Amino acid sequence: MARAGAGIAALVAAQILVPLGAVLVRAGGGSGLGPADWAAIRFTVLQAGLSAALSVALAVPVARALARRRFFGRGLLITLLGAPFILPSIVAIIGLLAVFGRSGLLNRGLEALGLPGLTIYGLHGVVLAHVFFNMPLAIRLILQGWLAIPAERFRLAAALGMGPREIGRWLERPMLREVLPGAAMVIFLICLTSFAVALTLGGGPRATTVELAIYQAFRFDFDLGRAAVLAIVQLALTGLAAAAALGVARMPGFGGGLDRVVERWDVGGRAARVADALSIGAAALFLLLPLALVAGGGLAGMTALGASVARAAAVSLSLALASVALVVALALPLALAVQTWPGKAGRAMEAIGHAGIAASPLVIGTGLFLLVFPVADPQRLAMPVTALVNALMGLPFALRVLVPAVAGVESAHGRLATALGMTGWARLRWLLLPRLRRPLGFAAGLTAALSMGDLGVIALFADGDTATLPLQVYRLMAGYRMAEAASAALLLLLLSLALFWAFDRGGRTDAAT
């Protein structure tokens, strides 16, 4: 199994480095960056910085309120905050348009008051969508920082007579100084590779990201040299952001505790309760109202969806299942090899598995297009290439779930299995697989949902007759068929959630041995 893992690591490295090498070779013949390209770079960095800063700033009061309040439905609300991980971006955009679009709730309210309307397109629209996606992630990350402060620290603060101001100074602010930079850098990295948001809400050349510029260079100009140069710029930006995220992500050193339930004596005032309720209520309204409008607006037309939407749904399902199969085939041997080869070798293989974070999907798609174009029609390979890239993008998430799980199984049962002579297939079948059902199910569900919502590589390769469900939703939106787009988006949301639930539920079985 260790040799298989090493082979998988080499294969993953080749799947990332060979396309990047093709991009580098092609970039040698590129014409350099023009004014529009530099404008795209500036806009990419600007919108990513604003999105990260706003997401983190708005998340702090919500995370603080969730950390110090206990109420009915709190666990469900925190669970819903994980929705951006599996929510198709095009679905969220439909929901945001229902609230902030030209005919959305906000503009209808302004019109009723005799006030001028607002537009969602442009920089502010892109930032709004990114805050919608990433504020829940920031809340979860910051909430983990609050929950990492041992209960004994708050008990000691109460014994010393500290009020909210002193607790904020000596406990909460030190934690935030450690957690916020890492959260902001991770969100900055995510926003750098924005494609679907900029494609639908950018509103023109002034609001074009580098990822969108790569797509435009292919689909509209067929300028492979320019696309290759932009791909190198995209790789450099994401690589620098990933390195910065790894460098600043640290947890505060409050020491250990006794895992007691945190009791807070500093939050009993009416003003604090009102502030926390407003923070939680506003966040819930902002996050859940667009999704509720998608469900309400698309439900009526679900039965009238055409054959093109049905074909697109079938394509997306097949791609999702293929991506799941690839991710499991790649992640499981790699996770086992990381555990078998501790030290630098294991860390190197794990780092290779996480390399997909630094290389955006369109960059890898660009390289694969350049490799395929001289020998075959890329449109005929749209489906396998998309499944492969989706698997590479899902591999880091699967490894983050499987590597700790494998280490835990080996730590608890590894010596006994070795003493019984269990090696190879027998060890995998009787020891590891039964105890890895939960993490494998979660990783498969997450990969399936992410693949269902992908609107990246398929946009490079697909022709007029081939489309995934997200691409079909975008085409309906571009044709101003918003009612059909809302129904197709609801179908996409339901299928994504169903796939995630099916795989995750299937893994919730404890080992029977």
Domains, in order of start, for the chain: 2-25+35-294+301-506 (1.10.3720.10)
CB-based contacts of 408, cutoff 8 Å, min separation 6? none
d(CA 391, CA 356): 9
Comparison of pLDDT for 199 and 257, the residue scoring more:
199
Structure tokens that stand for 163 in this block: 């009020």
User: How large a percentage of the chain has pLDDT more than 90?
Assistant: 9
Nearest to 93 by CA among 474, 496, 499: 474
Task: Yes or no: say if 444 and 507 are a contact pair by the CB < 8 Å rule.
Answer: yes
- Tell me how far apart the terminal alpha carbons of the chain are, to the nearest angstrom: 22
Mean pLDDT of 41-61: 93
**What pLDDT, on a 0 to 100 scale, did the predictor assign at position 245?**
65
pLDDT band at 322; cut points 50, 70, 90: very high
d(CA 477, CA 135): 26
Please write down the HEC assignment for all residues of 62-97.
Answer: HHHHHHHCCCCCHHHHHHHCCHHHCCCHHHHHHHHH
Q: Is the pLDDT of residue 44 over 80?
A: yes
Comparison of pLDDT for 81 and 433, the residue scoring more:
433
Region for 505 from its dihedrals, namely left if φ exceeds 0, alpha if ψ lies in -120 to 50, beta otherwise: alpha
Nearest to 459 by CA among 377, 382, 375: 382
User: How large a percentage of the chain has pLDDT more than 70?
Assistant: 84
Residue type, 364: I
pLDDT digits (tens, 9 = 90+) for 264-294: 555 667 777 888 889 999 988 898 888 888 8
Q: Is the pLDDT of residue 215 over 60?
A: yes
d(CA 366, CA 225): 11
Region for 73 from its dihedrals, namely left if φ exceeds 0, alpha if ψ lies in -120 to 50, beta otherwise: left
pLDDT band at 511; cut points 50, 70, 90: very low
Find the range with the poorest average confidence among 4-8, 45-49, 259-263, 446-450.
259-263
**What pLDDT, on a 0 to 100 scale, did the predictor assign at position 321?**
94
Mapped onto helix, strand or coil, the DSSP state of residue 485 is: helix
Mean pLDDT of 162-189: 77
Comparison of pLDDT for 342 and 488, the residue scoring more:
488
Task: Yes or no: say if 26 and 228 are a contact pair by the CB < 8 Å rule.
Answer: yes
Q: Is the pLDDT of residue 74 over 60?
A: yes
Comparison of pLDDT for 176 and 408, the residue scoring more:
176
Nearest to 490 by CA among 305, 322, 285, 286: 305
**What pLDDT, on a 0 to 100 scale, did the predictor assign at position 247?**
63
Residue with tokens 């348009």: 97
Find the range with the poorest average confidence among 3-7, 156-160, 238-242, 487-491.
156-160
d(CA 426, CA 434): 12
d(CA 395, CA 332): 10
Nearest to 386 by CA among 308, 479, 303, 469: 469
Residue with tokens 């009993």: 268
Q: Is the pLDDT of residue 458 over 70?
A: yes
Comparison of pLDDT for 311 and 298, the residue scoring more:
311
Comparison of pLDDT for 170 and 129, the residue scoring more:
129
Q: What is the mean pLDDT of the chain?
A: 79
pLDDT band at 131; cut points 50, 70, 90: very high
CB-based contacts of 149, cutoff 8 Å, min separation 6? 171, 172, 175, 252, 254, 262
pLDDT band at 377; cut points 50, 70, 90: confident
Q: Is the pLDDT of residue 254 over 70?
A: no
pLDDT band at 243; cut points 50, 70, 90: confident
pLDDT band at 42; cut points 50, 70, 90: very high
Q: Could you tell me what percentage of the chain is helix, strand and coil, using 3-state DSSP and rounding each to the nearest 5?
A: 80, 0, 20
Q: Is the pLDDT of residue 144 over 80?
A: no
Q: Is the pLDDT of residue 324 over 90?
A: yes
Comparison of pLDDT for 161 and 473, the residue scoring more:
473
d(CA 443, CA 437): 10
pLDDT digits (tens, 9 = 90+) for 346-362: 777 777 777 776 666 77
Burial tier of 338 (Cβ tally within 10 Å: 0-12, 13-18, 19+) = buried
pLDDT band at 231; cut points 50, 70, 90: confident
Q: Is the pLDDT of residue 365 over 50?
A: yes
Find the range with the poorest average confidence among 32-36, 222-226, 245-249, 498-502.
245-249
Nearest to 65 by CA among 273, 334, 286: 273
**What pLDDT, on a 0 to 100 scale, did the predictor assign at position 258?**
45
Mapped onto helix, strand or coil, the DSSP state of residue 115 is: coil
Q: Is the pLDDT of residue 259 over 60?
A: no
Task: Yes or no: say if 127 and 201 are a contact pair by the CB < 8 Å rule.
Answer: no
H helices of 249-306, where?
A: 270-299
Q: Is the pLDDT of residue 54 over 90?
A: yes
**What pLDDT, on a 0 to 100 scale, did the predictor assign at position 159?**
65
Burial tier of 134 (Cβ tally within 10 Å: 0-12, 13-18, 19+) = buried
H helices of 151-269, where?
A: 151-159, 164-167, 173-192, 196-201, 210-216, 224-248
Residue 510 sits at φ, ψ, to 5 deg, of -70, 160
What DSSP character marks residue 302?
A: G
Mean pLDDT of 100-111: 88
**What pLDDT, on a 0 to 100 scale, did the predictor assign at position 362?**
74
Structure tokens that stand for 392 in this block: 């590479």
Rg (C-alpha) for the chain, rounded Å, is 24
Find the range with the poorest average confidence among 20-29, 124-133, 319-328, 448-457.
20-29
Highest mean pLDDT among 20-24, 100-104, 267-271: 100-104
Torsion, Cα 325 328 331 335, to 10 degrees, reads: -160
Q: Is the pLDDT of residue 47 over 90?
A: yes
Task: Yes or no: say if 319 and 387 are a contact pair by the CB < 8 Å rule.
Answer: yes
